[in-house]
């Protein structure tokens, strides 16, 4: 006889078993879907990074294992990434020729350094650094990277031997050499791009890129296109990667560390954006950084290159029913099987086909619709976006990215240093003060100025604040009361308090009273008390509104308002 408690436990065990079976099936389904997308993309990105195509698969396996161990997001897919690949490939070409042993070792060391930087951000909870880049700068950055990817793949598509470290010079060389283009190679590249782009739009879950590669392989094999100048992958002899950590050129750390910081910043920026869109509330973005970092360390140890999170594959994982990081592990096992036992087939893949896939990837990260939206909503931030875009085009890619980061930080500092400092007006016949509105009958008072400062009052903007008050006083000498509406001043520092005291001393000589009203922030109140700011300006009590200050300091003005209200009421 089973008692009720045993029966309840048995039912719970059965439901848990069914849940695990359902979860496992969802992870397997998602793993297969991701693998179908990842096989061509990882091989193409390895080609973009200056590595053999098989290295892209090893990078994917390393990233999947690393993120499964430390990462927090259940859906996130990681691997070789077309955003960071052109950045480090362009930079490492200054030290070694792409594809050589020294190049591979430098890329491995760089990957380890990127991983260590990301793990450091997790340990010290520095995930907030990813928010220092403004969205227009990110859009401009991706547009510039997109152009580098597309133009950089044109030589492979056209079958031309053209190269340059500068994008515009490469474009010019391609235009000059265009009559010598290989027609079969160009047809393969264009057809792969069109096929992938068409099905990606009409049937997003269909593995269009994989099918395009299979078709191009069959066409190359059956049509003997390699005899007509169509370049294909070299023979692939895949084996399980060994650990090369101790053979890495550690004496180059000092030279590669700035580049590692830049790559890590891009990884944080992209990972934070993906974390915010997948809405996995159980995950921490700092843990995601740790997972990406461990994946980079594994990739560097196994002779691959730096990896990153993927927006497209993450969405596919979630939509295909993935519930845990087992989906990424299943996808990694499938890719590893292809690498180990598919070498006899993979060498038939044309370079032009991989380039066609990369052109589609590059075009997909060029957010033209977002650029248009930024243009219509904020011209200043549109100029910021375009400045980042053109800097990445004109300069070397790593230089353009660094300048874009600096530009974003300068823009943020400017917004703090020059915040809105608007003069409030009063709704006529009332005690309500606010921004000037054309829909309301508003007025100024003859001897009163009310300023609303919508930022923390720091050393970066206190001079702007003081100069604004001085310029108003010079233009309106009749002013006897300046009221600072402080609902937007959420903080105050020592430098700002000292300069406001000196400003108040100058105003007192001109018989002008300055007071602070609506001081709501606890930090502002605490700092004003510790710096004795209110004692210095002889503000004996706090004012809860603008009208409260006027009633207390200018009773004649308050009486005039009351008289006006009486006259309006009597007329009605």
Q: What is the pLDDT of residue 127?
A: 73
Neighbouring residues of 565: CB distance < 8 A, sequence distance ≥ 6: 429
How would DSSP label each residue in 257-325? HHHHHHHHHHHHHHHHHHHHHHT-TT--HHHHHHHHHHHHHHHHHTT----EEEHHHHHHHHHTT--ST
Strands 421-427 and 448-453, by their bridges, are antiparallel
59 φ, ψ to 5°?
-65, -40
How would DSSP label each residue in 400-467? HHHHHHHHHHHHHHHHHHS--EEEEEEETTSS-EES--TTS-EE--TTEEEEEE-S-B-TTTHHHHHH
Q: Under a CB-based contact definition with an 8 Å cutoff, are residues 405 and 133 in contact?
A: yes
What is the value of pTM for the model shown?
A: 0.77
pLDDT tens track, the chain, 572 positions: 455 555 545 444 444 444 455 577 788 888 888 898 888 889 989 988 999 888 999 999 999 999 999 998 888 999 999 889 999 998 998 899 988 999 999 999 999 999 999 999 999 888 777 667 788 888 888 898 889 889 988 999 999 888 777 888 889 999 999 999 999 999 999 999 999 899 888 887 788 888 898 899 999 999 989 888 898 887 666 666 778 888 899 999 999 999 999 899 889 888 887 776 665 555 578 889 999 999 999 999 999 999 999 887 887 788 777 888 889 999 999 999 888 887 677 788 898 998 898 898 888 889 899 999 999 999 989 999 999 999 989 888 778 878 887 888 888 888 888 898 989 998 887 888 888 876 678 888 888 999 999 899 999 999 999 999 999 999 999 999 999 999 999 999 999 999 999 999 999 999 999 999 999 899 999 999 999 999 999 887 788 889 889 888 887 655 444 444 444 344 44
Q: 544 to each of 421, 465, 487, 506, 539, how far by Cα in Å? A: 20, 22, 10, 26, 13
Strands 481-485 and 513-517, by their bridges, are parallel
Tokens 């390393």 belong to residue: 62
Q: What is the pLDDT of residue 15?
A: 43
Q: What is the pLDDT of residue 209?
A: 86
Q: What is the pLDDT of residue 565?
A: 44
Q: What is the pLDDT of residue 317?
A: 85
| Residue 396 burial (CB count, 10 A) | 17
Distance CA 27, CA 438 (A): 58
Candidates 504, 526, 521; CA nearest to 513 is 504
Q: What is the pLDDT of residue 432?
A: 86
């Amino acid at each position: 006889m089973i008692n009720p408690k045993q029966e309840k436990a048995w039912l719970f065990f059965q439901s848990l078993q069914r849940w695990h079976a359902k979860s496992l099936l969802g992870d397997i389904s998602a793993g297969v879907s991701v693998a179908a997308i990842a096989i061509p993309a990882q091989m193409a990105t390895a080609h973009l990074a200056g590595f053999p195509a098989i290295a892209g698969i090893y990078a994917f396996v390393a990233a999947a294992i690393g993120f499964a161990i430390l990462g927090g997001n259940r859906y996130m897919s990681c691997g070789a990434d077309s955003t960071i690949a052109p950045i480090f490939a362009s930079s490492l070409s200054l030290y070694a020729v792409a594809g050589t042993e020294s190049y591979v070792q430098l890329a491995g060391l760089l990957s380890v350094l990127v991983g260590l930087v990301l793990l450091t951000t997790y340990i010290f909870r520095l995930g907030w650094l990813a928010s220092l880049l403004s969205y227009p700068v990110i859009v401009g950055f991706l547009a510039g990277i997109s152009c580098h990817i597309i133009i950089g793949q044109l030589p492979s598509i056209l079958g031309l031997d053209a190269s340059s470290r500068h994008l515009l010079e490469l474009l010019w060389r391609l235009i000059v050499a265009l009559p010598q283009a290989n027609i079969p190679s160009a047809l393969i590249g264009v057809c792969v791009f069109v096929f992938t782009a068409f099905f990606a739009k009409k049937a997003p879950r269909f593995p269009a890129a994989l099918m395009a590669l299979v078709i191009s392989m069959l066409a190359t094999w059956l049509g003997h296109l390699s005899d007509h100048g169509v370049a294909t992958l070299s023979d692939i002899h895949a084996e399980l990667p060994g650990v090369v950590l101790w053979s890495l050129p550690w004496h180059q750390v000092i030279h590669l560390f700035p580049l590692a910081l830049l790559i890590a910043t891009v990884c944080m920026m992209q990972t934070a954006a993906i974390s915010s869109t997948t809405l996995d509330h159980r995950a921490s973005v700092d843990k995601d950084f740790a997972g990406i970092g461990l994946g980079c360390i594994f990739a560097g140890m196994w002779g691959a290159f730096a990896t990153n999170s993927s927006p497209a594959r993450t969405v596919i994982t979630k939509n295909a029913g993935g519930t845990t990081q087992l989906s990424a592990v299943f996808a990694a096992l499938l890719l590893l099987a292809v690498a180990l036992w598919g070498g006899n087939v993979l060498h038939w893949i044309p370079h032009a086909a991989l380039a066609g896939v990369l052109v589609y990837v590059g075009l997909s990260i060029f957010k033209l619709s977002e650029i248009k939206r930024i243009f219509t909503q904020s011209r200043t931030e549109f100029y910021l976006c375009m400045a980042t875009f053109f800097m990445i085009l004109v300069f070397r890619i790593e230089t353009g990215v660094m300048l874009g980061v600096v530009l974003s930080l300068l823009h943020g500092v400017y917004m703090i240093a020059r915040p809105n400092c608007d003069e409030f007006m009063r709704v006529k016949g009332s005690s309500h003060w606010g921004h000037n509105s054309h829909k309301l009958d508003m007025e100024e008072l003859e001897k009163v100025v009310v300023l609303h400062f919508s930022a923390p009052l720091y050393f970066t903007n206190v001079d702007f604040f003081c100069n604004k008050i001085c310029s108003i006083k010079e233009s309106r000498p009749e002013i006897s009361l300046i009221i600072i509406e402080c609902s937007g001043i959420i903080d105050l520092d020592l430098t700002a308090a000292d300069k406001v005291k000196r400003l108040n001393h100058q105003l007192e000589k001109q018989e002008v009273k300055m007071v602070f009203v609506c001081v709501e922030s606890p930090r502002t109140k605490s700092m004003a008390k510790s710096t004795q700011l209110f004692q210095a300006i002889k503000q004996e009590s706090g004012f809860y509104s603008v009208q409260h200050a006027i009633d207390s300091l200018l009773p004649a003005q308050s009486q005039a308002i009351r008289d006006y209200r009486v006259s309006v009421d009597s007329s009605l």
